[in-house]
Each structure stands twice: as structure tokens, then as C-alpha cells.
Amino acid sequence: MKVIETRNEEATREIGKILGKAVKEGAVITLNGDLGVGKTVFTQGLAQGLGVEEPVNSPTFTIVQVYEEGRMPFYHFDVYRIGDIEEMEEIGYEDYFYGNGVCLIEWAELIKEILPEKYVEISIEKDLNCGFDYRKITIKGEEYENISFG
């Protein structure tokens, strides 16, 4: 487990970027945390680290957004509005989860039952005692805990 603290949006984006540069083909990354905590900011950094140049935002009307321009495909899921796990089956999630790109899933706790056996688990939390912009980022996933996040 690795814990990183940030005090502004840019720092969180940078952590995402460092992970995006290191992440390996086929990785599934789960990203949990309350609304407004910085999941999309982190995701934007990760996409940048993968070499995605177009802007990345939360997919509002689709469950998954695909970016092909980086060093490998990037599949950005936001399952916040998912009603039923069947919706994941309808979009053919297995092709993404078990494919050769990188999956990042915002609100992954809502689809626990279909997560692969192995994934990188990230959570972002606020602690208002440490200030409004403070965030605690926790990364669990052997391969990525030894990266130097600066």
C-alpha cells in the first residue's frame, strides 16, 4: 500500500501522470472516492501519462469512453449512474477488462462483482482537518507501489 498526499488539483493530476507513464498493458485500475474528490482530475493525469492529448472528462451518457491515441488504448469507465450490472454486459466490458489496453473505472465499488481477480486499487479521500484542498491518495497493487511519485 502506498499513501500520497496532495494539496492541490495539479499535484493530483501529476500523480496520475506518473502512474500513466508506468502502467502496463492489460492493467485494470479501480478508482473510488466521493463526488468531487478528484477522480476525474487523477484520470486526466493518467491519460496524459499514457500519451492521450485530447481532453478527458467524465463520460456522462456512456459508461465507457475509449482513447486510442496513447501508447496503448485507454478505456475510461465512470459507472456512477449504472443501474444494473447487465449494462456492463451490454457494452461488452470483458473485451476492455481482458484486452490489451488500460482500464480505469471511476466508482468501481458499484461493480465489485465483475472486477477481475487482479487489479490496482486506488482511493482518494478528503480530510477537512487538513484543509479544503487536501487529498489522501491510496494505491494498492504490488507492481505500482514502488514507483517514485516524487
> Interface mask (CB under 6 A) for ligand ADP, residues 118-147, using x and -?
---------------x-x------------
* Cα distances (Å, whole numbers) of residue 30 to 79, 103, 131: 11, 8, 26
Cβ atoms of residues 120 and 144 within 8 Å: yes
Place of cell 493530483: 12
65 scored as a contact of Mg ion (CB under 5 A): no
From 23-31, 39-47, 69-77, 86-94, span contacting Mg ion (CB under 5 A) = 39-47
> Interface mask (CB under 6 A) for ligand ADP, residues 39-78, using x and -?
xxx----------------x--------------------
Chain position whose Cβ is nearest to ligand ADP: 38
| Chosen residue from 58, 125, 126, 134 binding Mg ion by CB under 5 A | 58
Closest contact distance (angstroms) between CB of 122 and Mg ion is 13
| Chosen residue from 14, 19, 28, 33 binding ligand ADP by CB under 6 A | 33
Distance, CA of 68 to CA of 48 (rounded, Å): 12
* Cα distances (Å, whole numbers) of residue 16 to 11, 107, 113: 9, 16, 25
What is the total count of residues that contact ligand ADP (CB under 6 A)?
Answer: 17
Extract the C-alpha cell encoding 82: 449504472
Residue 1: burial class (beta carbons within 10 Å; 0-12, 13-18, 19+): exposed
Interacting residue ranges for ligand ADP, rule: CB under 6 A: 6-9, 11-12, 33, 35-41, 58, 133, 135
